[in-house]
Structure 1
């Protein structure tokens, strides 16, 4: 259940930031959004892997 909520939260974050980028298409803003999504992806899916 936690994994499903994590995926939903990540999709919502990407959707919110996607609207921001499409409504205000600027290169610097796009770079910041890309860095933010990459950091969230790392934190949610790579850094927090369950221990074996």
Structure 2
């Protein structure tokens, strides 16, 4: 349970940091790289679980 909460917290902090970065540096290529990064982290977090 604690692992899941820490993962959610880390995901929120990462997303907030990258959101601020995109907000302050509005570049299309940077936004694309950050979108892929957040998508991969979300897939790792919410995707199918391995045993």
TM over 0.5: yes
SS of corresponding position for 1:25: coil
Structure 1: runs of 5 or more not aligned: none
Structure 2: runs of 5 or more not aligned: none
Structure 2 length as normaliser, TM-score? 0.86
Q: List structure 1 segments (4+ residues) > 6 angstroms apart after TM superposition.
A: none
CA RMSD of aligned residues (A): 1.4
